[in-house]
């Protein structure tokens, strides 16, 4: 599901807002205790390039799941680095940086599609299915308070947030009004990339 572009952050109780991390969208499929990563517009299978993420198999409480989120590579300080991510994807033998995965949606679980479920219900099931680990975790966010989240992530150096309509079902392709990317005007003082560990420290709603 590809986001449409929105004009600016807003507040609305019918929406869930999350940080927009500087990585690549990916689907992690776990079946029979095996992990496979799938990324649009990438012909090669990227799974072997991210051995750190094999722990995902032990983090899920059920088999036959598809986890949708953002694939990152962190530098030695724990900050997402797009250059290190590109290096990993270009060279399957590269082990530059540390692979990480922030999960935002669950279109398939327990061996069945959840696409007809509203996002709020899919997210609730995601938090049941996935236990946080050092390299993979469910994204945090705020219900209804897009402007508050935008202020928080701008101070971390991020330039956008995502907005998902809580009642929206899974929609392949461009999601239109169901899923938006909203640009954030970062303060000029924010010159460093955000530490991923700050995701756990933000005062965000884990329950959706």
- Return d(Cα 46, Cα 93) in angstroms, integer: 10
Within a domain: residue 201?
no
Query: CATH no. for residue 183?
Result: 3.30.470.30
In a domain, 87, yes or no: yes
Query: Is there a contact between 105 and 2 (Cβ–Cβ < 8 Å)?
Result: no
What is this structure's pTM? 0.87
Q: Among residues 13, 47, 12, 5, which one has the least CA distance to residue 30?
A: 47
| Residue 96 pLDDT > 50 | yes
Mean pLDDT score across all residues of the chain:
87
Residue 77, domain member (yes or no)? yes
**Do the domain assignments include residue 207?**
no
Q: What is the DSSP string of 111-164?
A: TEE-TTS-HHHHHHHHHHHB---SSEEEPPBEEEEHHHHHHHHHHTT--EEEEE
Residue 14 lies in a domain: yes
- Give the count of domains, the chain: 1
**Which range has the worst mean pLDDT, 47-56, 135-144, 184-193?**
184-193
Q: Residue 146 is part of which domain span?
A: 4-192
Residue 204 in any domain: the answer is: no
Measuring CA to CA, which residue among 46, 115, 52, 58 is closest to residue 86? 46
* pLDDT of residue 188 exceeding 50: no
């Amino acid at each position: 599901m590809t986001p449409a572009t929105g004009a600016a952050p807003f507040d609305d109780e019918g929406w869930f807002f999350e940080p927009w991390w500087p990585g690549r969208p990916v689907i992690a499929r776990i079946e029979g205790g095996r992990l496979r990563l799938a990324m649009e517009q990438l012909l090669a299978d990227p799974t072997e390039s991210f051995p750190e993420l094999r722990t995902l198999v032990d983090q899920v409480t059920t088999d036959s799941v598809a986890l949708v989120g953002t694939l990152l590579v962190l530098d030695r300080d724990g900050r997402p680095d797009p250059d290190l991510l590109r290096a990993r994807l270009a060279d399957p033998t590269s082990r530059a940086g540390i692979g990480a995965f922030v999960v935002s949606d669950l279109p398939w679980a327990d061996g069945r599609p959840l696409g007809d479920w509203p996002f709020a219900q899919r997210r609730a099931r995601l938090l049941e299915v996935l236990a946080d680990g050092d390299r993979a975790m469910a994204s945090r966010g705020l219900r209804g308070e897009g402007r508050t989240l935008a202020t928080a992530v701008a101070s971390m150096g991020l330039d956008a947030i995502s907005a998902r309509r809580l009642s929206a079902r899974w929609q392949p392709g461009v999601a239109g009004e169901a899923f938006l990317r909203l640009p954030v005007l970062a303060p000029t003082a924010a010159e460093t990339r955000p530490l991923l560990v700050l995701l756990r420290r933000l005062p965000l709603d884990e329950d959706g």
